[in-house]
């Protein structure tokens, strides 16, 4: 690779605030406690972005933290949960108080809406959530349609085009070719649907590394506008196989999240430090163990697979 292209699409995390504007719709990758683009979430908070229409399939600490920080103007989701640590207190408070406008999708509907946009369709039909109360709430998103051959009644879901998608990959090169080994969840569909795509990754690598692992490339570079190196960029959620979720930090988060004062402090700490500072503060001496949690995870030996 010639030096003229070495940097290509690579930008520092600090430029994220310029890449995402107030009021834009942003799809955030990952699911449950796996692989949310948390470094980007923290940076949006530091940049003071507001009015963001966040789109998540299964959000967790990413959505709750942005709700707490005042980043969100709208939340589209099919689930937001802190799982073992309970409901997401700040999302819950926002919706219950009416201060956070929201759209509740069904999970397949949300993914198929993203898929439709990504493949150039204004909608896609599927065997939808018949009997659910959700579609009738959103006639601009869900409609009924019929198969022109069999007459079967189906659910149509409208194409969903985020302004921006932010996803976290294992590695990417300067062209934006991005690879995942473990959980990629909804990341590829979000990226294919969005007008602009920002990939954060554990590591920016030479194109040669991408070629040698070509089967792991889930997002080719022509989709990608910016590549940001963000080690532990999914923390405190997981990025398997690099590190497991940081359940201890999540427990601290959950404890703070239910208390307005405590969560304000939690947010202020993030706002007043760099991402490097965050890593130093939170990971100090613990990064190796978070990686070892992955190594220690066991398949049941001797069992037939």
Partner 1 sequence: MTDYEIHELMTCRVAAEVDNDGVTVMGSFTPLAYASYMLAKLTHAKDAYLVGFDAVGMAPVQLSFTGAEASAYKGAVCRWGMLTEINSIHLANHGGVEAVSSAQFDGSGAINLSAIGPFEAPKVRLPGGAGAAEVIKMYRKMIAYFGNHNPRTLVDKVQFVTGTRWKVGDRAREEAGLQPGPIVVVTNLAVLVKDEDDRPFRIESVHPGVDVQTVVDNTGFELEVPAEVPTTAEPTPQQLDLLRNRIDPFGTVKFDFVSGKERLSYLRGILDAEWDRAAARVS
Interface with partner 1 includes 288 (CB under 8 A)?
yes
Place of tokens 């998608």: 165
The Cα 198–Cα 183 span in angstroms is 18
The pattern of x and - marking residues 123 through 142 that bind its own copies according to CB under 8 A reads xxxxx------------x--
The pattern of x and - marking residues 192 through 221 that bind its own copies according to CB under 8 A reads ---------------x---x-x-xx-----
Pair type for strands 25-28 and 164-172: parallel
Estimate to the nearest angstrom the gap between the alpha carbon of 146 and the chain centroid: 33
Residue 298 near which of partner 1, its own copies, none (CB within 5-8 Å, type-dependent): partner 1
The Cα 56–Cα 187 span in angstroms is 10
Q: Which residues within the stretch 235-264 sit at the binding site for partner 1 (CB under 8 A)?
A: 238, 240-241, 244-245, 247-248, 251
Residue 164, helix vs strand vs coil: strand
Interface with its own copies includes 154 (CB under 8 A)?
yes
Interface with its own copies includes 284 (CB under 8 A)?
no
Out of 61, 217, 233, 257, point to the residue binding partner 1 (CB under 8 A).
217
Interface with partner 1 includes 220 (CB under 8 A)?
yes
CB of 192 to its own copies, least distance (A): 15
Q: Which of 79, 100, 232, 223 is nearest to 162 (CA)?
A: 223
The Cα 34–Cα 27 span in angstroms is 15
The Cα 187–Cα 296 span in angstroms is 27
Q: Which helix or strand (DSSP H or E) is residue 234 part of?
A: none
Interface with partner 1 includes 299 (CB under 8 A)?
yes
Tokens representing 100 are 């956070």
Interface with partner 1 includes 272 (CB under 8 A)?
no
Residues that bind its own copies (CB under 8 A): 1-2, 5, 119-127, 140, 143-145, 147-150, 152, 154, 156, 158, 181, 207, 211, 213, 215-216, 304-305
């Amino acid at each position: 690779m010639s030096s003229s292209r070495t940097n290509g699409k690579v930008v520092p995390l600090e430029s994220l605030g310029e890449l995402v504007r107030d009021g834009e719709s942003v799809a955030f990758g990952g699911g449950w406690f796996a692989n949310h683009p948390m470094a980007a979430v923290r940076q949006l908070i530091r940049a003071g972005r507001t009015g963001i229409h966040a789109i998540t399939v299964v959000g967790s600490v990413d959505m709750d933290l942005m709700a707490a920080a005042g980043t969100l103007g709208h939340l589209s989701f099919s689930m937001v949960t802190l799982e073992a640590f309970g409901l997401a207190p700040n999302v819950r408070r926002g919706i219950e108080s009416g201060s956070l406008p929201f759209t509740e999708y069904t999970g397949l509907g949300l993914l198929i809406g993203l898929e439709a946009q990504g493949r150039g369709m204004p909608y896609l039909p599927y065997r939808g959530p018949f009997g659910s109360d959700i579609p009738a709430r959103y006639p601009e998103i869900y409609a009924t349609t019929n198969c022109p051959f069999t007459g079967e009644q189906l659910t149509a879901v409208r194409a969903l085009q985020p302004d921006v998608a932010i996803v976290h990959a294992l590695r990417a090169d300067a062209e934006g070719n991005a690879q995942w080994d473990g959980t990629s969840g909804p990341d590829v569909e979000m990226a294919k649907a969005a007008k602009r795509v920002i990939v954060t990754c554990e590591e920016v690598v030479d194109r040669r590394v991408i070629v040698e692992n070509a089967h792991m490339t889930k997002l080719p570079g022509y989709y990608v506008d910016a590549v940001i190196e963000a080690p532990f960029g999914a923390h405190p959620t997981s990025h398997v196989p690099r590190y497991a979720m940081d359940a201890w930090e999540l427990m601290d988060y959950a404890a703070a999240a239910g208390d307005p004062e405590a969560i304000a402090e939690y947010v202020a700490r993030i706002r007043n430090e760099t991402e490097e500072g965050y890593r130093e503060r939170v990971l100090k001496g613990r990064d190796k163990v978070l990686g070892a949690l992955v190594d220690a995870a066991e398949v049941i030996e001797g069992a037939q697979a």
